[in-house]
């Protein structure tokens, strides 16, 4: 049995970290190394981890974000395989064992389906609507959507040795994982276990509330994809058009009219806006006080 190094970045996760680590300890797969990277927590996370009373590697570092924390964990990994788990997510007991069964020759990363839960661990009514779970050469499919959840990933350590870790730059602050999957899938085949092997916790702190930053990261991911495979530029342009249009509407409804105008303008350079979006784009040139008045009248 080969060793799996489980990398868990932690930042002020005292509410969930014990349950997260417990879900690793409950794995049916036997040879596991747990590496917890404390990303400068100021709560009781570390004390609670130490109180669990099992052998694990705790790495302490100044707050630098999850990408840096995961990279530090991978650098310390001694296993032949690496698995990621966010400090607020949970694994089902057979998660690693089932994924290892899929880690055949030629496969370098295995992901799985997931279930969304709330802060109390209760399954949400609205679950992911994903019906397709791509495998093999998934690069083109990733252009359309990021279907790989970080906490579901098991990969060969040689992948990290070959292409490095997550990009730590601010460009990808909200989607370092997405950018990483593009880099990995450009060189390695990927498999999937289409079962809910993880429970992904949805709460306020992991919702993407900074939409401007999120859009910048998503466009950065598309730029990465195009740099790797320029032959997909048409599909990537379609995806960029969708992103700019979607966020243009989001900014408009938030009253961020300058950002809305900028997003719609970028979308217009890539394709034709719908009538509704053209109307929003034109309205965004009006003074904010007039738009606010119109918005209040509609209420």
Res. 46: pLDDT tops 90:
yes
Across 262-275, average pLDDT = 98
Across 109-119, average pLDDT = 93
Check residue 32 and give left, alpha or beta (phi > 0: left; psi -120 to 50: alpha): beta
Whether residue 223 is contained in a domain is answered as no
pLDDT for res 285: 93
Whether residue 183 is contained in a domain is answered as yes
Whether residue 22 is contained in a domain is answered as yes
Q: Do residue 168 and residue 246 come from a single domain?
A: no
Cα dihedral 25, 27, 32, 34 sign: negative
pLDDT for res 137: 97
pLDDT for res 209: 64
Q: Do residue 68 and residue 200 come from a single domain?
A: yes
Q: Do residue 196 and residue 246 come from a single domain?
A: no
Q: Do residue 198 and residue 239 come from a single domain?
A: no
Reported as a pLDDT band with limits 50, 70 and 90, residue 121 is confident
- Count up the domains in the chain and report the number: 2
Q: Encode pLDDT of 149-198 as tens digits.
A: 999 999 999 999 999 999 999 999 789 999 999 999 999 999 999 999 99
Q: Which domain holds residue 241?
A: 229-298
Res. 231: pLDDT tops 90:
yes
Q: Do residue 18 and residue 112 come from a single domain?
A: yes
Whether residue 27 is contained in a domain is answered as yes
Q: Do residue 48 and residue 172 come from a single domain?
A: yes
Among residues 181, 133, 128, the alpha carbon closest in space to that of 153 is found at: 181
Q: Do residue 107 and residue 8 come from a single domain?
A: yes
Q: Do residue 134 and residue 280 come from a single domain?
A: no
Q: Do residue 188 and residue 269 come from a single domain?
A: no
Q: Do residue 37 and residue 124 come from a single domain?
A: yes
Q: Encode pLDDT of 204-218 as tens digits.
A: 665 556 899 999 999
Q: How many CB atoms lie within 10 A of CB 297?
A: 7
Residue by residue, what is the 3-state secondary structure of 66-86?
A: HHHHHHHHHHHCCCCEEEECC
pLDDT for res 288: 79
Q: Do residue 196 and residue 238 come from a single domain?
A: no
Task: Please name the residues in contact with 295: beta carbons below 8 A apart, sequence gap of 6 or more.
Answer: 255
Across 267-273, average pLDDT = 97
Whether residue 217 is contained in a domain is answered as no
Whether residue 144 is contained in a domain is answered as yes
Q: Do residue 137 and residue 272 come from a single domain?
A: no
Whether residue 40 is contained in a domain is answered as yes
- For 173, which DSSP code? T
Task: Please name the residues in contact with 15: beta carbons below 8 A apart, sequence gap of 6 or more.
Answer: 88, 119
CATH of the domain at 153: 3.90.550.10
Across 54-82, average pLDDT = 96
Whether residue 215 is contained in a domain is answered as no
Task: Please name the residues in contact with 93: beta carbons below 8 A apart, sequence gap of 6 or more.
Answer: 23, 26, 27, 28
pLDDT for res 133: 94
Instruction: Answer with the one of 173, 206, 239 that is the final residue of a domain.
Output: 206
């Amino acid at each position: 049995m080969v060793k799996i190094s489980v990398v868990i970045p932690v930042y002020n996760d005292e509410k969930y970290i014990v349950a997260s680590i417990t879900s690793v300890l409950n794995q049916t797969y036997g040879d596991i190394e747990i590496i917890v990277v404390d990303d400068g927590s100021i709560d009781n996370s570390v004390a609670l981890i130490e109180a669990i009373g099992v052998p694990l590697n705790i790495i302490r570092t100044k707050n630098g974000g999850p990408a840096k924390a995961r990279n530090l964990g991978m650098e310390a990994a001694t296993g032949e395989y690496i698995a990621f788990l966010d400090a607020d997510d949970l694994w089902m007991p057979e998660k690693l064992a089932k994924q290892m069964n899929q880690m055949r020759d030629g496969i370098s990363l295995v992901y799985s389906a997931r279930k969304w839960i709330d802060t109390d661990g209760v399954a949400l009514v609205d679950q992911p609507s994903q019906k397709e779970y791509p495998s093999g050469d998934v690069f083109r499919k990733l252009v359309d959507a990021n279907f790989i959840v970080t906490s579901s990933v098991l990969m060969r350590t040689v992948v990290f040795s070959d292409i490095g870790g997550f990009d730590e730059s601010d460009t990808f602050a909200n989607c370092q994982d997405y950018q990483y999957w593009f880099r990995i899938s450009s060189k390695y085949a990927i498999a999937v276990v289409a079962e809910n092997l993880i429970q992904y916790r949805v709460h306020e702190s992991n919702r993407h509330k900074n939409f401007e930053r999120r859009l910048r990261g998503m466009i950065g991911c598309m730029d990465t994809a195009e740099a790797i495979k320029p032959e997909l530029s048409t599909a990537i342009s379609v995806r960029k058009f969708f992103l700019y249009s979607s966020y243009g509407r989001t900014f408009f409804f938030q009253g961020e009219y300058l950002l809305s105008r900028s997003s719609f303008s970028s979308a217009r350079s890539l394709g034709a806006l719908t009538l509704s979006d053209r109307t929003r784009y034109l309205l965004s040139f009006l003074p904010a006080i007039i738009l606010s008045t119109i918005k209040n009248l509609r209420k």
